[in-house]
């Protein structure tokens, strides 16, 4: 596709459940980023992949959050034992090389609601 896609667009789950959020970056982009945006706030960095490896996961809030990118393309953000405070929009972005000075292209986000 022409842009970054994310699925599902909306996800409603119950407290304690496990969820997976998917990101499909722009073809050929080696760098992939996950951000989380709470209502009325700017996006907050979660994790950055360069190829298949997580180059920086310092933004993950705790060990309930995990992300993978096994083939260097699609990435999955996994949240275990979801809590109501996890409710937010999860945004994915990609860039060609991940070097400083590159534009990041964002997907439409997945809106997660934990009841």
- Residues lying near other proteins in the complex (CB under 8 A): 4, 31, 33, 35, 40-45, 48, 55-56, 59, 91, 93, 95, 98-109
**Which CB sits closer to other proteins, 20 or 56?**
56
To other proteins, the closest distance from the beta carbon of 16 in angstroms equals: 27
Give one word for 40, left, alpha or beta, with left for phi > 0 and alpha for psi -120 to 50: left
**Which CB sits closer to other proteins, 48 or 65?**
48
């Amino acid at each position: 596709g022409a842009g970054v896609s994310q699925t599902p667009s909306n996800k409603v789950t119950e407290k304690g459940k496990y969820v997976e959020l998917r990101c499909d970056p722009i073809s050929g982009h080696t760098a992939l980023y996950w951000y989380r945006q709470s209502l009325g706030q700017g996006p907050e960095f979660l994790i950055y992949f360069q190829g298949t490896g997580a180059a920086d996961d310092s933004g993950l809030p705790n060990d309930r959050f995990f992300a993978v990118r096994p083939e260097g393309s699609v990435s999955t953000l996994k949240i275990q034992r979801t809590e109501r405070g996890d409710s937010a929009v999860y945004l994915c972005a990609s860039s060609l090389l991940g070097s400083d000075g590159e534009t990041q292209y964002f997907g439409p986000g997945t809106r997660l609601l934990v009841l």
